[in-house]
């Protein structure tokens, strides 16, 4: 197809009752909305129609911009020179299309727009973590990870829209599509390998975990057509107000795994070799009834017993367990955790803390020393 028609030309063709507009897919019937117009939605470079074919619902995708990789990505679902379009002033065109199954279920984008509860967002983050671990273990990559390309069905996530896919077939090639900028590393153009999903995975996981602690972020996710975190700002200036807020949420709630994954968003490289191990990491290795001691590994602190590591070294500072609790620091935020690394007392407002002794712990704020009890309440003399 030498000439790529405008979007309106595709819609006019689908509205037409001309049965000869198909080269081989005779019997494709567009599904119509209540107002009688054909059911369709528009993406950045394509338009998708909801159609019925051979008694089943399908999605018919037509491209505003021609792409060479589609036949390799979609195989038998790719129909070359299939849909006849008569374009005024330009003459007839046979357009390429993709005919794929219709996906039932809501996308992650649609779920987030429903103002989900913190508990539901936690479930979504766990589903995404499972999907991400599985995806990173494959020899291919999706290429355009974002909420609207993640389908949720029966409390499981699956990927849709593979236009930006990478596989070994494209080794040494240049990507025809670089995903959605809000989720991509600014240097994504320099990378076309199985690692192209690394940065958007880190972005989505970090954002979903932050939404647990501030569910209103789900409504601000696409605020004014922009995203909360700007990869461009992070990489080129090292500063971004949205990123700072998200990381402070994770630190204050002692979500250590999400915090460490969030730090990867500052990487100058789009490939994140640590990501898969972090997503698969168990912060608590095993149950231990022995006394736990704080120990530093490299520049991170964890907890050990006589048999080795019990709590993964992910904290920036830590004190030994005392009276069942340990003081740990993540970023600039202090917390007291239990033996399962669960947050017990948030102490982000304090500049320093000391371990518990006789049911109380010393805390410091603006140079003033105070004591708190196990509920976090300030004790007054």
- In this predicted structure, the answer to whether residue 8 has a pLDDT above a threshold of 60 is yes
pTM score = 0.92
- The per-residue DSSP string of 54-104 comes to TTEEEEEEEESS--SSHHHHHGGGEEEEEEEEEETTTEEEEEEEEEEEPPP
Please tell me the CATH superfamily of domain 106-280, with its number.
Answer: Transferase(Phosphotransferase) domain 1 (1.10.510.10)
Task: Give pLDDT, residue 225.
Answer: 53
Query: For residue range 237-267, what is the model confidence (pLDDT) as tens digits?
Result: 989 999 999 999 999 999 999 999 999 999 9
Domain 293-379 class, CATH top level: mainly beta
Task: Provide CATH 2.40.10 ranges for the chain.
Answer: 293-379
- Give the C-alpha separation, 204 to 223, whole Å: 16
Q: Helix, strand or coil for residue 247?
A: helix
Going by pLDDT thresholds of 50, 70 and 90, the confidence category of residue 176 is confident
Most distant CA atoms of the chain, gap in Å:
89
Q: Name the CA dihedral angle for 45, 137, 227, 43, rounded to a multiple of 10 degrees.
A: 20
Give me the CATH code for the 7-101 domain, please: 3.30.200
Secondary structure class of 213 (helix, strand, coil) = helix
User: Is pLDDT above 60 for 223?
Assistant: no
Q: CATH 1.10.510.10 in the chain, residues?
A: 106-280
Q: Work out the percent of the chain whose per-residue pLDDT is above 90.
A: 71
Q: What is the pLDDT of residues 135-158, one digit of tens each?
A: 999 999 999 999 999 999 988 999
Range list for CATH 3.30.200 in the chain: 7-101
3-class DSSP assignment, residue 219: helix
Instruction: Measure the CA–CA gap between 301 and 328, rounded to whole angstroms.
Output: 9
Q: What is the pLDDT of residue 198?
A: 98
Per-residue pLDDT tens digits for 339-348: 999 999 999 9
């Amino acid at each position: 197809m030498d000439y790529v028609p405008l979007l309106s030309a595709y819609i006019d063709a689908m509205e037409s009752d001309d049965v000869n507009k198909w080269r081989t897919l005779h019997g494709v019937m567009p599904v119509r909305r209540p107002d009688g117009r054909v059911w369709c939605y528009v993406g950045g470079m394509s338009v998708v129609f909801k159609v019925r074919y051979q008694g089943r619902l399908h999605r018919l995708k037509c491209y505003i911009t021609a792409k060479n990789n589609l036949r390799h990505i979609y195989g038998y679902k790719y129909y070359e020179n299939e849909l006849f379009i008569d374009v005024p002033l330009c003459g007839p065109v046979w357009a390429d299309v993709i005919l794929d199954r219709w996906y039932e279920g809501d996308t992650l984008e649609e779920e987030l727009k429903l103002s989900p509860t913190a508990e539901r967002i936690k479930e979504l983050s766990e589903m995404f973590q499972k999907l991400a671990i599985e995806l990173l273990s494959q020899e291919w990559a999706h290429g355009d990870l974002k909420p609207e390309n993640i389908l949720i069905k029966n409390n499981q996530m699956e990927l849709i829209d593979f236009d930006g896919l990478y596989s070994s077939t494209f080794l040494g090639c240049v990507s025809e599509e670089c995903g959605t900028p809000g989720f991509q590393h600014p240097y994504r153009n320099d990378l076309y390998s199985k690692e192209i999903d690394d940065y958007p995975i880190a972005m989505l996981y970090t954002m979903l975990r932050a939404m647990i602690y501030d569910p209103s972020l789900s409504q601000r996710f696409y605020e004014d057509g922009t995203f909360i975190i700007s990869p461009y700002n992070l990489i080129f200036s090292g500063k971004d107000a949205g990123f700072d807020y998200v990381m402070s949420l994770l630190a204050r709630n002692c979500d250590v795994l999400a915090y460490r994954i969030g730090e990867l968003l500052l990487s100058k490289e789009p490939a994140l070799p640590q990501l898969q191990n972090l997503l698969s990491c168990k912060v608590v290795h095993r149950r231990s009834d022995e006394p736990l001691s704080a120990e530093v590994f490299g520049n991170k602190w964890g907890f050990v017993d006589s048999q080795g590591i019990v709590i993964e070294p992910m904290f920036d500072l830590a004190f030994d367990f005392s009276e069942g609790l340990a003081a740990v620091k993540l970023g600039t935020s202090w917390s007291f955790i239990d033996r399962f690394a669960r947050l017990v007392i948030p102490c982000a407002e304090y500049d320093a803390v000391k371990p518990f002794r006789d049911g109380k712990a010393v805390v410091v704020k603006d140079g003033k020393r105070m004591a708190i009890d196990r509920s976090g309440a300030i004790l007054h003399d």
